[in-house]
Amino acid sequence: MTTDLAKYAEDNGIKFFLMNFTDLFGIQRSKLVPASAISGMQKSGAGFAGFAAWLDMTPAYPDMFAMPDGDAVIQLPWKPEVAWVPGDLYMDGEKVAQAPRNVLQSVIAKAADQGLLMKAGVEPEFHLINEDGSAISDQRDIQEKPCYDQSALMRRYDVISEICASLEQLGWGPYQNDHEDANGQFEINWDYSDSLKTADQLCFFRFLVKSVAEKHGLRATFMPKPFTHLTGNGCHVHASLWSLDEQTCLTHDPNGELGISEIGYYFLGGVLAHAEGLAAITNPTVNSYKRINAPVTSSGATWAPNTVTFGGNNRTHMVRVPDEGRFEFRLADGAANPYLLMAGYLAAGLDGIEMKTRPGKRLDIDMYADGHKVRGAKKLPLYLIDAIRLFAKDKILRSALGAEFCDAYVKLKTNDWNQYSQHLTQWERDTTLDC
């Protein structure tokens, strides 16, 4: 039964609701609705003009309505009189096929038809920076290997502890906070859940982190590569398949290689088979490819893959098997749309199961040191436009995610690339004016 938002407001002292949806570029769009009007909104939805967001629509399109998912409502810990509630987009009584949350729910339904549920946890990384984004906020954070630096972590104690306390208040089960591999970079982890809930949580987490940072006079960014010499911001996804009653992990077999079941390896095989096209979703910006195709950083490693391989407990591969029954997909970055990220991995994995796709040979080598010795392994795209073209050619992903979504995504992301291509850099001028 869907949560009655009017009663929720009365019980929790809510004065306003942020009626929310996430567009194709991962930007969160909201209307601030007073609690006195929420009953009507829960029945008929909050109206939006689709053309005003990153959706493939024109001003001629009718209103679309965000129907709030009352069961996903979240009270803002830093502003408790406000609640955030994600919505599913409808137009003319039908679900908007290109809307990311709808795309994910469609793939989840296909998995459910096969008796499968994907659970996922995420590792979102972010930088705390100055207001104009030109530098990290802590000028004393200068170690060559700053990962787990206690002093740098504690200099940002006020920000990190408030974020973590907020997650505890929400019941998400946060279990660690750490300074990451780049100067000024942090990561906070919480308990995994089903893929829709985790996607909702990741959307809200980004909002939470940015809001708390601003409260403390700082700025937070999840940009994949905000500084060329530092490790970029990844968003690793830990995924496993479960029975619909959530009692049995179907990707686990204690007698299987690395504790992974046969269906688990088929799932992995699907992700690897579609990785090149998936990159358009997992790494959706021009800047994304400065993370996965980057030179060695000041810490000594990028911690990002550039080749489609998997290994055991080995962080140099695109996919790591850190424990029995689950995979760590290390490709995605901080710009990935949370709903499309989950939908893409699940769709690719389901195809692997259907086609009984083998993942190929497990590699136990250090890909950073010896990757050049591997023969036949597919390389990840070098640029966003390459990823978009590979995604557009992937008929399986198109079928699984929906033609309307795929067409809209390819169109808008191609326009994104074309806008980037129109810009001249100072490097081009310096190296080419006198050619």
CATH homologous superfamily of 106-423 equals Glutamine synthetase/guanido kinase, catalytic domain (3.30.590.10)
Distance CA 304, CA 230 (A): 12
How far CA 117 is from CA of 244, 336, 400, 431, in Å, comes to: 6, 21, 16, 53
Q: Which helix (H) or strand (E) holds 165?
A: helix 157-170
The per-residue pLDDT for 2 is 86
- pLDDT of 206 > 80? The answer is yes
- pLDDT of 408 > 80? The answer is yes
The per-residue pLDDT for 1 is 60
Averaged pLDDT for residues 72-100: 98
The residues that bridge with 252 in the sheet, in sequence order, are 260
Q: Do the Cβ atoms of 66 and 45 come closer than 8 Å?
A: yes
Distance CA 201, CA 189 (A): 11
How far CA 375 is from CA of 265, 315, 361, in Å, comes to: 21, 20, 12
The per-residue pLDDT for 173 is 98
* Beta-carbon count within 10 A of 218 CB: 21
117-129/235-242 β-pairing? antiparallel
* Helices first, then strands: H and E counts in the chain: 15, 16
Distance CA 152, CA 372 (A): 36
**Contacting residues for 34 by C-beta, under 8 A, at least 6 apart:** 15, 16, 17
What is the overall mean pLDDT for the chain? 97
The residues that bridge with 326 in the sheet, in sequence order, are 323
Model pLDDT for residues 219-270, shown as the tens digit of each residue: 999 999 999 999 999 999 999 999 999 999 999 999 999 999 999 999 999 9
Q: Which helix (H) or strand (E) holds 31?
A: strand 28-34
What class, spelled out in words, does domain 5-88 have in CATH?
Answer: alpha beta
Averaged pLDDT for residues 87-101: 97
Q: Do the Cβ atoms of 302 and 293 come closer than 8 Å?
A: no
Main-chain dihedrals φ then ψ at residue 329, nearest 5 degrees: -90, 110
Distance CA 321, CA 323 (A): 6
Q: Could you give the residue ranges of the DSSP H alpha helices within 227-371?
A: 262-273, 275-282, 289-292, 338-355, 367-370
Task: Please state the length of the chain.
Answer: 435
Instruction: List for the chain the helix, strand, coil content (%; round to 5).
Output: 40, 20, 40
Distance CA 225, CA 228 (A): 6
Question: Nearest CA to 351 among 393, 396, 319, 389?
Answer: 396
Q: Do the Cβ atoms of 325 and 259 come closer than 8 Å?
A: yes
Question: Nearest CA to 256 among 243, 266, 270, 245?
Answer: 266
Distance CA 301, CA 28 (A): 32
What single letter denotes the amino acid at residue 157?
Y
Model pLDDT for residues 262-310, shown as the tens digit of each residue: 999 999 999 999 999 999 999 999 999 999 988 889 888 899 999 999 9
Model pLDDT for residues 139-172, shown as the tens digit of each residue: 999 999 999 999 999 999 999 999 999 999 999 9
Distance CA 85, CA 54 (A): 20
The residues that bridge with 75 in the sheet, in sequence order, are 83
Using DSSP, state whether 374 is helix, strand or coil. coil
Q: Do the Cβ atoms of 253 and 309 come closer than 8 Å?
A: no
Q: Do the Cβ atoms of 274 and 281 come closer than 8 Å?
A: no
Reported pTM: 0.97
Distance CA 50, CA 61 (A): 7
Model pLDDT for residues 307-366, shown as the tens digit of each residue: 999 999 999 999 999 999 999 999 999 999 999 999 999 999 999 999 999 999 999 999
Distance CA 310, CA 329 (A): 9
- pLDDT of 180 > 80? The answer is yes
Averaged pLDDT for residues 63-90: 98
Write down the domain spans for the chain: 5-88, 106-423
The residues that bridge with 30 in the sheet, in sequence order, are 20
